[in-house]
Amino acid sequence: MDENSNSREPLLSVRGIWKSFASVPVLRDVGLDVCPGEVLALLGENGAGKSTLLKIMTGIYQKDKGSIIYRGEPVDIDAPRVAQDLGISMIHQELTLLPNRTVAQNIFIGREPHKRGVLGRLGEVDTRAMNQKAEGVLDRVGSVASATDLLLELSTAQQQLVEIARTLASDAQVLLMDEPTSSLSAKQSQNLLKLIRELSAQGLCVVFTTHRLHEAFEVADRFAVLRDGEMVGTVAASNTTPNQVIQWMVGRPVSQRFPKREVEIGEMALVVHGLSGGMVEDVEFSLRKGEIIGFGGLVGAGRTETARLLFGADKAEAGEVILDGKVVDIQSPVDAVRAGIGLVPEDRKMQALILNLAVRQNMTLPALREKLSHNGVIDKRGVEKNIKHYIDRLNIHLRSPDQKVRFLSGGNQQKVVLSKWLMLSPRVLILDEPTRGIDVGAKAEIYQLIGELVQAGIGVILISSEMPELLGLSDRVVVMSEGRIQKILDRSEATPEVVMTYASIGHNTVEKVREQAA
């Protein structure tokens, strides 16, 4: 099923690409056309080969077999510099900017304009010209930052714009973006998607990968789907549906994206009064057993901050937390764990996992004192039993429980994080962006798991910036903005527009003003 785009000549083509890492084939006979003025969404599960394909096109990896054709001529892209000179640029998932340099310095790194004359020959940079040019490019991408701002002062979304500005400044013709919206809020993602459309209207080829299908459908002209290293096919966006695309990605029909079960919602599990601390003010809500309460809002609204206060990760200045009818005093995560509250943090690698330790150690950490030891000595058999149980139940793919957790895929890592809290049999589990950076297959498994949790009577707090996920799973939605709860919506009344309205209260960012003016 192959539809190449209308009448346009492809600017960049790859044919017959093969690539293996340590004799494991990651790309098999892959072909793709990238056309000017077109937005192409490259889709596939984690491990399908999307990043690898992009990196081959940009010179970071070398293909084992196959050809790359640029403007009709075969080219040998054997280093990133070659790709850059041709006009092929990549925006990586992890931003590759220099935090301690200014925006302009970042934009022109490696291509700084030099002053005329002797000093220029010796390498003196013409900072004024550089800053001026930088302002020009920043305007083009709609950035509110100024050329002399230090990069680390900017938000992630702004930094990403600087990275895009950098590629534009190098006269890129082909823009490859790897999961560009993964660390952005819904609003920021919207802005980025708009920028992508603008850039393609200006004649650029834009290729981006994402796990958020609705984004792909919003902005892409064409989809290309990879599965297990093979190109399943390409199709025009107007000729297909999400379920069709998912089926291509996964290879089997996916019946329902958000399995919402009928769960009996029981008595009060958690009541929070007047919780305040840092930017969070006066948070008040309740959670019943078996209920999923979703926290929606823009990035920086205070949802993660609230979760951290609840869990004792940050110090609360005021507030009362009542768990199962009893007031609990939570001063640190040690107290939270003892009370039966668990937190799956946003940042998996930095906050939830100890990458260099084995799966065994990671999985048993919270439950170690309460359940898996006697008087400080570890109950080896108990540990083995529990580990095996959760590896089976969550379908975690790994070589052995002694494997270091950093060698697992993102989805399996997240399952390890989830099982470490499940082992504790918590009463309340807080999930902060639980499916970020996880492929469709593993996402479905995690949704299923969440369903099982609530069936077992656990109360779940779900923080998510993915609207379909948030609205699909939650029984009630708490919308936060500026550190306060603006509204608590019932499932029936929660629509993306309503949530966005409350999420934007008091949010006088330049972005919002620009949006309204546009």
Judged by the rule CB under 8 A, the positions of this chain that interact with another protein are 22, 311, 313, 332-334, 336-338, 343, 345, 350-357, 361, 364-366, 368-369, 373, 376-378, 380, 402, 404, 407, 420
Instruction: Name which of 100, 227, 92 is nearest 166 in CA terms.
Output: 92
Give the nearer residue to another protein in terms of CB position, either 377 or 518.
377
DSSP 363-398: HHTTHHHHHSEETTEE-HHHHHHHHHHHHHHTT---
CB of residue 348 to another protein, shortest distance in Å: 9
Give the nearer residue to another protein in terms of CB position, either 311 or 502.
311
Reduce the DSSP state of residue 158 to 3 states and report it: helix
Residue 509 CA to residue 501 CA, distance in Å, equals 14
Give the nearer residue to another protein in terms of CB position, either 380 or 512.
380
Give the nearer residue to another protein in terms of CB position, either 297 or 340.
340
CB of residue 506 to another protein, shortest distance in Å: 30
CB of residue 402 to another protein, shortest distance in Å: 7
CB of residue 375 to another protein, shortest distance in Å: 9
Q: Scan for tokens 């029981």, then name that residue.
A: 266
CB of residue 308 to another protein, shortest distance in Å: 9
C-alpha 332 chain-centroid distance: 28
Reduce the DSSP state of residue 260 to 3 states and report it: coil
CB of residue 193 to another protein, shortest distance in Å: 33
CB of residue 106 to another protein, shortest distance in Å: 28
Instruction: Name which of 137, 110, 107, 132 is nearest 123 in CA terms.
Output: 110
Instruction: Name which of 24, 79, 76 is nearest 49 in CA terms.
Output: 24
- Which letter, b or e, does each residue of 392-431 get, where b requires 16 or more Cβ atoms within 10 Å of its Cβ? eebebebeebeeebeebbbbbbbbbbbbbbbbbebbbbbb
Give the nearer residue to another protein in terms of CB position, either 32 or 310.
310
Give the nearer residue to another protein in terms of CB position, either 215 or 432.
432
Cβ atoms within 10 A of the Cβ of 176, count?
A: 28
Residue 79 CA to residue 59 CA, distance in Å, equals 5
Q: Sign of torsion, CA 174 189 245 38?
A: negative
Give the nearer residue to another protein in terms of CB position, either 349 or 514.
349
Instruction: Name which of 84, 86, 85 is nearest 96 in CA terms.
Output: 84
CB of residue 321 to another protein, shortest distance in Å: 16
Contact residues for 2 (Cβ-Cβ < 8 A; gap 6+): 233, 234
CB of residue 349 to another protein, shortest distance in Å: 9
Contact residues for 53 (Cβ-Cβ < 8 A; gap 6+): 14, 17, 27, 30, 32, 42, 226
Give the nearer residue to another protein in terms of CB position, either 353 or 458.
353
Give the nearer residue to another protein in terms of CB position, either 79 or 354.
354
Give the nearer residue to another protein in terms of CB position, either 308 or 487.
308
Residue 170 CA to residue 89 CA, distance in Å, equals 9
Give the nearer residue to another protein in terms of CB position, either 415 or 420.
420
459-463 and 476-481 strand pairing:
unpaired
CB of residue 337 to another protein, shortest distance in Å: 3
> What residues are paired with 431 via a beta bridge?
344, 462
| DSSP-based helix, strand, coil % in the chain, nearest 5 | 40, 25, 35
CB of residue 93 to another protein, shortest distance in Å: 20
Token digits of residue 176: 């490859």
Give the nearer residue to another protein in terms of CB position, either 40 or 344.
344
* Structure letter (DSSP) for residue 150: B
> What residues are paired with 450 via a beta bridge?
none
CB of residue 474 to another protein, shortest distance in Å: 24
